[in-house]
């Protein structure tokens, strides 16, 4: 029997990280945890280390590393604890690693994810922000290293499953007319528009179909998540923004569709549980049990579809404009959104002000070329400063 594949889980303490570990634990002969990383909830990271006995663990700083190291030694584990971005990049690119789950949230995941790509790993991409920020560079690095990039976002995983194997030769050559990216519409799909200014972080994080981290939950409520996914789809599948249509599908059973020129439309369906795309990508091109219940079409009974309303969801329009503008604009959109979402979660701004902040940042800052990582990171920093200035000027 072949040796178990060595897996690094970046962002192991998060929603995707935990679902990944759930799948891995179902297949002990097939996968072994090489490294686990966490940024907060370090007591939980320690418990995960005891369960999965990784070769490495990574925490934010040296003090946290000493603390965790002592705890693990006391428990009789030989796990080595590293810290900071250098530690994350090391466990993402270690020669002994076969696959890396990139599940850190936000721009913080960019460098470790890129390190995995540059090392030619099998990269399971949940951290969409990394690709949104650095799309051209990221995809160039994939081509250069021969990394195998597999989408974890349920929509992109669905699209990947519905495309022909040689789709990289071009969507048009594959006979693809358009990609239909489904969206649940989130918790505020039917909230009266004037009430949107009053919604709380708790309401925004109460997603009707998915249980996720707080940042992506707010993004789903504003539909910025779908906007980021539109940009993500353009890079992953070499599509133009106008080839990607967003369809509101409140049940989250169809995870996306591909529309072909002959009138065929292929869809991937399943219960809304991230262990399905995680298992698909982990085992690809094989299939393994994920622990997800079989889909019961008779219980679901009906599937609804609606066009998105951009007056309700201005973030979706902003993201489409950023996709069309290209260059550093998606990185600025993402950075402004990260600052605005954090401020909303801290109750410093209203939900509707997320879009106001992003609009202002994109209006103030000229677009640039995203030709180097330095240019991307500079655009990210500049957008964060402008977003912070908005907060200061409005006394938040
Ligand atoms: P989460 O908040 O539950 O977990 C985030 C993880 O990142 C945690 O392990 C946290 O410790 C780590 N982290 C946070 N800040 C960090 C930093 N500065 N440096 C290093 N590590 C840091 O988030 P999540 O819901 O698991 O989402 C993770 C990523 O997956 C996001 O990019 C999200 O958009 C994407 N995604 C999530 C889902 C989902 O269902 N949760 C679905 C599709 C895509
Ligand atoms: Mg998604």
With a pLDDT cut of 70, the percent of the chain lying above it is: 100
Ordered by where they begin, the domains of the chain are 5-151 (3.40.50.720), 152-321 (no CATH), 326-396 (1.10.1740.10)
Q: What spacing in Å lies between the alpha carbon of 286 and ligand 2's midpoint?
A: 22
Of 9, 121, 108, 113, which is closest to residue 56 (Cα–Cα)? Answer: 9
- Residue 2 has a pLDDT of 84
Band of residue 109 on the pLDDT scale cut at 50, 70, 90: very high
Measuring from each residue's beta carbon to the nearest atom of ligand 1, which residues come in under 6 Å?
11-17, 38-40, 103-105, 108, 126-129, 153, 210, 212-213, 215-216, 274
The reported pTM is 0.98
Residue 333 contacts residue 318 (beta carbons within 8 Å): yes
Helices (H), ranges, the chain: 15-25, 42-52, 62-74, 84-93, 110-118, 128-145, 154-162, 201-205, 214-222, 224-237, 275-283, 297-300, 314-325, 329-345, 353-364, 373-393
- Determine the residue of 12, 14, 57 to mutate for testing ligand 1's pocket, defined as the one with the most ligand atoms within 8 A of the Cβ atom: 14
Whose alpha carbon is nearest atom 9 of ligand 1?
11
- Residue 1 has a pLDDT of 56
Q: Is 127 annotated as a binding residue?
A: yes
79-105 per-position pLDDT tens digit: 999 999 999 999 999 999 999 999 999
Whose alpha carbon is nearest atom 42 of ligand 1?
153
Phi, psi of 175, deg, nearest 5: 80, 20
**73: number of CA atoms within 13 Å, CB side?**
8
Which atom, in ligand 1's list, is nearest to the CA of 228?
34
Q: What spacing in Å lies between the alpha carbon of 55 and ligand 2's midpoint?
A: 31
Q: What spacing in Å lies between the alpha carbon of 223 and ligand 1's midpoint?
A: 17
Q: Is 338 annotated as a binding residue?
A: no
Residue 340 contacts residue 349 (beta carbons within 8 Å): yes
Residue 210 contacts residue 226 (beta carbons within 8 Å): no
Band of residue 241 on the pLDDT scale cut at 50, 70, 90: very high
Q: Is 38 helix (H, G, I), strand (E, B) or coil?
A: coil
User: If you average pLDDT over residues 4-22, what whole number do you get?
Assistant: 98
- Residue 168 has a pLDDT of 87
User: Which DSSP string corresponds to 91-132?
Assistant: HHH-TT--EEEE---SGGGHHHHHHHHHTT-EEEE--HHHHH
Which atom, in ligand 1's list, is nearest to the CA of 11?
9
Residue 53 contacts residue 33 (beta carbons within 8 Å): yes
Q: Are strands 80-83 and 56-59 parallel, antiparallel or unpaired?
A: parallel
Residue 145 contacts residue 118 (beta carbons within 8 Å): yes
- Residue 158 has a pLDDT of 99
Burial of 14 (0-12, 13-18, 19+ CB in 10 A): buried
């Amino acid at each position: 029997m072949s040796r178990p594949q060595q897996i690094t889980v970046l962002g192991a303490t998060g929603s995707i990280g935990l679902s990944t570990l759930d799948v891995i634990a179902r297949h002990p002969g097939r996968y072994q945890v090489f490294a686990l990383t966490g940024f907060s909830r370090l007591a939980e990271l320690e418990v995960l280390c005891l369960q999965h006995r990784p070769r490495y663990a990574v925490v934010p700083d040296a003090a946290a590393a000493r603390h965790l190291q002592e705890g693990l030694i006391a428990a009789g584990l030989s796990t080595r604890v590293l810290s900071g971005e250098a530690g994350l990049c090391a466990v993402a690119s270690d020669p002994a690693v076969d696959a890396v789950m990139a599940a850190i949230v936000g721009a913080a995941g960019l460098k470790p994810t890129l390190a995995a790509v540059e090392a030619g790993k099998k990269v399971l991409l949940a951290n969409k922000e990394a690709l949104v920020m650095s799309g051209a560079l990221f995809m160039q690095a994939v081509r250069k290293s021969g990394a195998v990039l597999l989408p974890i976002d349920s929509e992109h995983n669905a699209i990947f499953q519905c495309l022909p194997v040689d789709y990289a030769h071009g969507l048009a050559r594959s006979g693809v007319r358009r990609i239909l990216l489904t969206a649940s519409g989130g918790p505020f799909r039917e909230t009266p528009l004037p009430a949107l200014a009053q919604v709380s972080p708790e309401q925004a994080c109460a997603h009707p179909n998915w249980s996720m981290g707080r940042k992506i939950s707010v993004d789903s409520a504003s539909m910025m998540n779908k906007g980021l996914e539109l940009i993500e789809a353009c890079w992953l599948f070499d599509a133009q923004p106008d080839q990607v249509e967003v369809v509101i599908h409140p049940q989250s059973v169809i995870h996306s569709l591909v529309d072909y020129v002959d009138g065929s439309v292929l869809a991937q369906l399943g219960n809304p549980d991230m262990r399905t795309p995680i298992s698909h990508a982990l085992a690809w091109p094989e299939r393994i049990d994920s622990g997800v219940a079989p889909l019961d079409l008779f219980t679901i009974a009906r599937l609804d579809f609606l066009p998105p309303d951009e007056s309700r969801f201005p973030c979706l329009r902003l993201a489409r404009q950023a996709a069309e503008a290209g260059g550093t604009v998606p990185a600025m959109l993402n950075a402004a959104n990260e600052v605005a979402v954090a401020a909303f979660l801290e109750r410093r701004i209203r939900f509707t002000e997320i879009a106001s902040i992003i609009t202002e940042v994109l209006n103030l800052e000229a677009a640039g070329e995203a030709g180097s990582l330095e240019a991307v990171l500079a655009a990210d920093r500049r957008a964060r400063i402008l977003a912070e200035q908005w907060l200061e000027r409005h006394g938040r």
